[in-house]
Amino acid sequence: MIRKLASKLLGKLRGSAPAAPAAPVARPAAPKVAEPVAEAESLARIEAGAQEVKERIDAGEPVVLLDVRTPGETAGGIIPGAILIPLDELEARWVEIKDKNEIVCYCAAGMRSLRAATMLRERGVFNATSLEGGVGAWKQLGGQLKPPPRA
């Protein structure tokens, strides 16, 4: 759903982006007009609230959770159904999730997941967001953790 909306927005922006005005000879050049893709990215929220994500998961919506914590951290439990790709491996493994409909990255507190979502968006995965507050916020809402799958 979000991927479709982002595609529509990008299509509209690409088709209606105004051309940069010509700079007068006697004045400095006009500032560069922002790229449509950059505009679309800035319009999309990159952080998702824990309450919203939990409600959507509880309602059975197809949200893909991406745990970017280290194996030592995930040993203490993961959000059920999460895909485990530590942040330091995401650069090499991001293609494993690039075609998922909606991706919510999470970590312990939200900083690494924000970097992960940003990195994914830079690679064209515009449906990636970061779980605001990470696992800590998830647990505060009563969200459950389960043991990670054995390797």
Q: Among all residues, which ones are annotated catalytic?
A: 107
Distance, in Å, from the CA atom of 36 to the CA atom of 88, rounded to the nearest integer, reads 30
The count of other CB atoms within 10 Å of the CB of residue 125 is 19
Whole-angstrom distance, CA of residue 54 vs CA of residue 145: 12
What distance in Å separates the CA atoms of residue 9 and residue 121, rounded to the nearest whole number? Answer: 15
Question: What six digits make up the tokens of 22?
Answer: 């010509």
The SS3 assignment for 48 reads: strand
